[in-house]
Amino acid sequence: MLSHGFSRAMDACRRLLPDDRMWPAELDEGSENSNRRRIDRRTLFRIAERAGQDTVDIWAAAQLHAAIAIWGAPPGQPMRRALRPLAQDSAPKRFAEALKVVRGEGPESAYKALSYRSRLWIRGLGPSYFTKFLYFGGYGAKRHMPQPLIMDDNVITALKIVTDEPWQASAEDYSRYLDYAADWASELGTSGDVIERRLFQIGE
């Protein structure tokens, strides 16, 4: 799971950021050829751990989203579109607050806070990406709470196939998904993010 990642042209990605303070230093580590570097889940969790511990630097949470956007942009989709939410002046503070909410109150509260027109809503940031932020930012923060997971279009498609039930990107269905994933993970002796990864593959 942790090695799930991709090789990216980091210089080109960095130039797309509206502010260089949004660039995570972790993406400068290691190299393959030229300026291409691999970004995987392990790297994103490292960035998230740093962001979660730094309560002063509001840019750390924005750096986490930048890294997630670079990692998660689908093939064929311009990277600029995935990074566009960072162009808003309020984005760094709202990402920082969302990180506090998911780590303190849990993924369901954070989902509601980031939803359209809610208090932490960021224009252009939909559930496919903000649930990635919740997953990396909040996974394992509190064991007694539901663990945040990614719920993108592929996962929703798979949930429809696997459960034969209607699903959509909503706070209610996100909570339902977390319950299903926790139950399946318990039955199969694995973790919720392994379930998420399998659902993603089914829905591709």
- Encoded tokens for 146: 């539901």
C-alpha span between 61 and 103 (Å, rounded): 12
Residue 164, classified by CB atoms within 10 Å of its CB into exposed (0-12), middle (13-18) or buried (19+), is exposed
As beta bridge partners, residue 37 has 8
C-alpha span between 161 and 125 (Å, rounded): 26
As a whole number, mean pLDDT of residues 154-174 equals 98
Q: What is the pLDDT of residue 6?
A: 87
Q: Which of 159, 158, 154, 190 is nearest to 176 (CA)?
A: 159
Query: What's the pLDDT tens digit per position in 8-51?
Result: 989 999 999 999 999 999 999 866 566 788 899 999 999 999 99
- Predicted TM-score (pTM) of this structure: 0.95
C-alpha span between 5 and 19 (Å, rounded): 25
Query: What's the pLDDT tens digit per position in 125-137?
Result: 999 999 999 999 9
With a pLDDT cut of 90, the percent of the chain lying above it is 82
Query: What's the pLDDT tens digit per position in 66-76?
Result: 999 999 987 66
C-alpha span between 163 and 90 (Å, rounded): 38
C-alpha span between 78 and 45 (Å, rounded): 24
Q: What is the pLDDT of residue 136?
A: 98
Q: What is the pLDDT of residue 18?
A: 96
